[in-house]
Amino acid sequence: MSNQVKYEKILDALQELLVNKKLQTISVSEIAQAAKMGKGSIYYYFPSKDAIFEALIQRNYQKPLETAKTLAVQTEIPPFTRMAMIFQACTYSSSEFLKQREPNPTDLQEKASLHHRYMNHLITELKPELAEIIRQGIESGEIHFDYPAALAEIVLIVLTVKLDNTLLPSSQEEIEETLRGLISLLEKGTGIPQGALNYLFY
């Protein structure tokens, strides 16, 4: 079995365990047992359980982040179209990664904590790429705004919090109202063509 296969088996084992257990209650021994390898092998690849979890987050968001990096240099595509494509990729990836059983009340704090870490990773990694796309739109005259990095961060925070719907639980109607408000602000505040981002959220 190659090193890469073993590495992936460890990540698979933790993700499987997270379906039914809280992260804080999962031991490295349990991960090793689920991965069908010795505990010492786990420490060959990762210094701690937390390091395994961070690697799991990175793996599951790898696709949208690669999409963002690719789109950032495709200047022949309008910037608002690239923004929408990035958001779509992230929304899909988040919904797939965060599918778990319906939480009972005692799970809510743990679930919120896990989602907070997922969202932190996504915002941190996507912000430079999105800011670059916005910057390109400003330079080409398609977007009118003075603070591309700030705009990227604001949009990503609103999207991740509302679409994840764990840190601030809302009804579907409330989520849609907030996102319509975000679209309106983007259109009026940056000159993005009306309707260019509508299909992004629904």
What does 12-68 look like in DSSP terms, one character per residue?
HHHHHHHTTS-GGG--HHHHHHHHTS-HHHHHHH-SSHHHHHHHHHHHHTHHHHHHH
In whole angstroms, what separates CA 78 from the centre of its chain? 23
CA nearest to 83, candidates 165, 142, 124, 141 = 142
Q: How far apart are CA 94 and CA 165, in angstroms?
A: 11
pLDDT band at 69 (very low <50, low <70, confident <90, very high): confident
CA nearest to 160, candidates 128, 196, 125 = 125
pLDDT band at 30 (very low <50, low <70, confident <90, very high): very high
The predicted pLDDT at position 8 comes to 93
In whole angstroms, what separates CA 133 from the centre of its chain? 18
Q: How far apart are CA 187 and CA 129, in angstroms?
A: 20
- Burial group, residue 23, by CB count within 10 angstroms (0-12, 13-18, 19+): middle
Which pair of structure tokens corresponds to residue 82? 């690239």
pLDDT band at 87 (very low <50, low <70, confident <90, very high): confident
CA nearest to 80, candidates 202, 189, 179, 186 = 186
The predicted pLDDT at position 198 comes to 66
At CB < 8 A and 24+ separation, what contacts does 145-152 make? 145/189, 145/190, 151/190, 152/126, 152/127, 152/128
pLDDT tens per residue, range 100-145: 444 444 455 666 677 778 788 888 888 999 999 999 999 999 889 9
Q: How far apart are CA 73 and CA 183, in angstroms?
A: 24
pLDDT tens per residue, range 145-162: 999 999 999 988 888 887
**Percent of the chain whose pLDDT exceeds 90:** 30
The pLDDT of 10-18, averaged and rounded, is 91
Instruction: Assess whether pLDDT exceeds 60 at residue 56.
Output: yes
Residue 48 or residue 107, greater confidence: 48
How many other C-beta atoms lie within 10 A of the C-beta of residue 164? 20
Q: What is the mean pLDDT of the chain?
A: 82
Cβ atoms of 153 and 92 within 8 Å: the answer is no
The predicted pLDDT at position 106 comes to 46
